[in-house]
Amino acid sequence: MPTSTVLAGDLIEAIGALRRQLRGRVGMPWPNADLSAAELELVRLVRRRPDIRIRAAAQELGVAANTVSTLVTRLTERGVLVRSPDPTDSRAACLRLTPTAQRRIQKWRDGRVSTLTSALGELPARDRALISAALPALDLLM
């Protein structure tokens, strides 16, 4: 069995290769919009946690609230996010994806799932079972 360091390196390479293959086949949800890595990270967070407050998003991303506010302003101007008043605290704002952004991301995710489903279908059942058995351990990593 490889050491943890070797396993970590192998896992990073395998995940990176998988992501590159999916990106090559399906593309990105905003290929021509030139969203920065920070903007994409915020979009992913808001997708997972609709109605998240700006301050909570900043804490989760490990950045200052004014940084998130700047990202929100840019993403709002591009029609990706909606900022609305928090119904429980008028000083705070909640974030959501726009319906157009939600549809775009869902279409992109569906393409990734379809592509990966096809690839998994070509594997022997034993290999699919090994991948399935590894998922709970992968969830524990972070």
pLDDT digits (tens, 9 = 90+) for 24-61: 888 877 666 678 889 989 999 999 999 999 999 999 99
Residue range 113-119: average pLDDT? 94
- Ramachandran region of residue 64, left (φ > 0), alpha (ψ -120 to 50) or beta? beta
What proportion of the chain, given as a percentage, has pLDDT over 70? 97
pLDDT digits (tens, 9 = 90+) for 55-85: 999 999 999 999 999 999 999 999 999 999 9
Sequence-distant (6+) residues with CB within 8 A of 20 are: none
- Name residue 12's amino acid: I
CB atoms within 10 A of CB 81: 21
Question: Could you tell me the domains of the chain?
Answer: 27-140 (1.10.10.10)
